[in-house]
Homo-oligomer: A and B are copies of this chain.
């Protein structure tokens, strides 16, 4: 269960699926060449822990494919997800010695890693990397603040609707479709992971999903395959301004 298989997969940055969104997005070709020298790929299986909170962090990296979660756990076992890491998202904090959160692979996961000190050195020499990392960090901070509103002030039903709309939106964005009208996607999270995301119990998550289904806000095939017949309706249930969400 805990055998950490780490395979090396050589690959060209120019062909990388996250080339234009990751921390390297602004790099010129000569900068990419230098990154290629220090990068290496690691694979993790669904359910595997990538990093334990408190461990020494000797690498940073980007999610290439798959999904990972960032979670905090209290001594008594209560856990709260504090980040949902999708392809192109950055893991780790330059300048910090040990990990502040658990990172767990939710699906099979491929990461593009850099040993920490060469990456930090590269950051000092390459403003493009630091610039992009700042931009990404500001985006994450905005997302975290949006999430704080969800956690602090929304009802269970609104929380579920919010999470579904976030997933629907990013799914549309990855597949280059518009996030309006009818949308279809697979939930990448278990009920328990959704509960940890939203500060609920898994039973409440299940009940609210059933309620949204009964009310026709969503349709389900199996447990994970979701159809949103009317995105505006879902956004309304989430308590958001239904401005359509003009984000990248």
Chain A positions within 8 Å of B, measured between CB atoms, are: 70, 72, 74-76, 78-80, 82-83, 93, 95, 100-101, 127, 130-131, 133-135, 137-138, 140-142, 144-149, 151-153, 198-199, 239, 241
Q: What is the minimal beta-carbon distance from A238 to any residue of chain B, in angstroms?
A: 10
Assess whether A82 is in contact with B145, with CB atoms less than 8 Å apart: yes
Q: How far is the CA of A135 from the CA of B151 in the complex (A)?
A: 26
Which of B82, B134, B135 contacts A149 (CB under 8 A)?
B82
List residues of chain B with CB within 8 A of the CB of A135. Answer: 95
Assess whether A153 is in contact with B78, with CB atoms less than 8 Å apart: yes
Closest to A145 in B: B82
Assess whether A152 is in contact with B198, with CB atoms less than 8 Å apart: yes
Assess whether A153 is in contact with B75, with CB atoms less than 8 Å apart: no
Closest to A74 in B: B239
Q: How far is the CA of A65 from the CA of B67 in the complex (A)?
A: 42
List residues of chain B with CB within 8 A of the CB of A100. Answer: 142, 145
Assess whether A148 is in contact with B153, with CB atoms less than 8 Å apart: no
Ranked nearest first, the 5 interchain pairs of A and B with the lowest CB-CB distance are A152-B199, A82-B145, A151-B151, A144-B144, A80-B152
Closest to A240 in B: B74
Q: What is the minimal beta-carbon distance from A213 to any residue of chain B, in angstroms?
A: 24
List residues of chain B with CB within 8 A of the CB of A134. Answer: 130, 133-134, 137
Given contacts A134-B134, A134-B137, 8 further A-B contacts (CB under 8 A): A72-B148, A80-B153, A82-B148, A93-B138, A95-B135, A144-B148, A151-B151, A151-B152
